Chain A
Amino acid sequence: MNATATLATGKRVLGQLRHDPRTIVLLLAVPSLLLVLFKYVFYGSPQVFDRVGLPMLGIFPFTTMFLVTSIAMVRERTSGTLERLLTTPMHKFDLLGGYALAFGVVALLQGSVSAAVALGPLGLTVEAGVGVVLTLAVLNALLGMALGLFLSAFATTEFQAVQFMPAAVIPQVLLCGLLIPRDQMSDVLYWISNVLPLSYAVDALVAAQTTSSLTAEMAVDLLVVAGCALAALALGAATLRRRTP
């Protein structure tokens, strides 16, 4: 790996976003608007928002970065830029590292805006501190990015890539403990939720709400999420082939 190429790639990806102000506004504002909506949909039963508000701060970056990355990679493939990049001295991991860097920055901004809205006007409380919430938001974004990158290899058009979002993301959202706690699900669903990385991210966020210090369980959850992100990145790297038929 080469730090210059990685940094240049991160800068390039952010530069592409900078020329697309509408996407920036959507990335930063939509999660907060959805949180506000959630708060007022459950206005009569405030305990619902208190329970799901924090997990949603992890689910938003996961979902948006999944979508953004899978589309971006399909575009790199169809425009020929991916093939071109692979004929330069750049290493595959420089490309992935650059994307991780750029989307990590975006996730941090997105997480900061939605955390400010959730913890401020919406009155959500978190014992573990904003730092833990933002760390989890960025980690979730990187997980979404890594999964998006890997699955984009199986999409030949942007249309297909968009369809992977509901297929890969919504089941994880349904099973991650956001709607009902995982231990109240049927055994089969519980076991499935155990092998989905988003479940661990949400477990950690739920724990962050009530415990002020980093517990061993939270650390395990964080490691599982980080490990899954790395595994998906490695699988994604394997799909970036220099020599094609």
Chain B
Amino acid sequence: MDQVAIRVRGLVVDRGGKRALDGIDCDVPTGRVTGLLGPSGGGKTTFMRCVVGVQRTAGGEVTVLGLPAGTTELRRRVGYVTQAPSVYADLTARANAHYFAALQGVPASAGDSALAEVGLVEDADRLVGRMSGGQRARVSLACALLARPELLVLDEPTVGLDPVLRRDLWQLFHDLADGGSTLLISSHVMDEAGRCDELMLIRDGRLVAQDSPAALRVRTGEDDLELAFLALAERADLGTGATA
């Protein structure tokens, strides 16, 4: 089995007249939880859009599960959850889950169990429009989980969730990775960085560093990942080649 789930070479993206990604090279390992960290506006979402193949690119190559990103076959193997919950507010959580189950060609029961996985059993029959932001985000997540994709791309999936729920979801992410799935999860919260197997730090459209949390701590001599990220960002600004 290929040990690299996502291979990116020389990726360049222009959005709204600005360079959003400026020559990204990276390999995202299979069966691990990779965190995409960095300030908002730094290019995390654009990078994820490239991986799922909805972003028009200006150069470079993105290979996902051995195929060019956006290939038809990948649409059943890759799950994508956008930052704003993209589910139907005028349907119940269950109706949303059943709809996305039908589109993915899995039984409706897969939708019910995905709702259970994100902790929405009692609220499954409530209208999404009447739910809190955190609950909506979980409905959106469930709609991607239900097809058990080989690669899950999650854009800030735990924003606004209470700590207990956040811990449970991270446990779920690691269980999925242990089952062989690859997860690419963005966050701008540094305390989530420590929960990832691998970290990618993106800033101003460039990949500042990619390594495990432990290796980043050693490399920078900082125990706190926030400080480690700061140190790496400063080195990158000084042009001393932090990615080396």
A4-B90 in contact (CB<8A): no
Contacts of B90 in A (CB 8 A): 16, 19-20
Task: Please report whether the interface of chain A is mostly helix, strand, loop or mixed according to DSSP.
Answer: helix
Total number of B residues with any Cβ neighbor in A under 8 Å: 32
Binary A-proximity of B123-160 (CB < 8 A = 1, otherwise 0): 00001000000000000000100000000000000000
Q: How many A-B residue pairs have CB under 8 A?
A: 78
B53-A8 in contact (CB<8A): no
Q: Which of B80, B86, B103 has the most CB of A within 10 A?
A: B103
Contacts of B55 in A (CB 8 A): 243-244
CB of B186, distance to nearest CB on chain A (Å): 15
Contacts of B84 in A (CB 8 A): 79-80
Total number of A residues with any Cβ neighbor in B under 8 Å: 27
- Of chain A, the residue at the smallest CB distance from B100 is A88
A81-B86 in contact (CB<8A): yes
Chain A contacts with B in 69-95, Cβ cutoff 8 A: 79-81, 83-90, 94
B99-A87 in contact (CB<8A): no
B103-A87 in contact (CB<8A): no
B91-A243 in contact (CB<8A): no
Q: Which of A5, A7, A12, A244 contacts B56 (CB 8 A)?
A: A244
CA distance A170 to B185 in the complex (A): 49
- Shortest Cβ-Cβ A-B pairs, 8 listed: A80-B86, A8-B102, A84-B86, A88-B103, A16-B90, A12-B99, A89-B76, A89-B75
CA distance A79 to B139 in the complex (A): 14
CA distance A8 to B75 in the complex (A): 18
A245-B86 in contact (CB<8A): no
A83-B82 in contact (CB<8A): yes
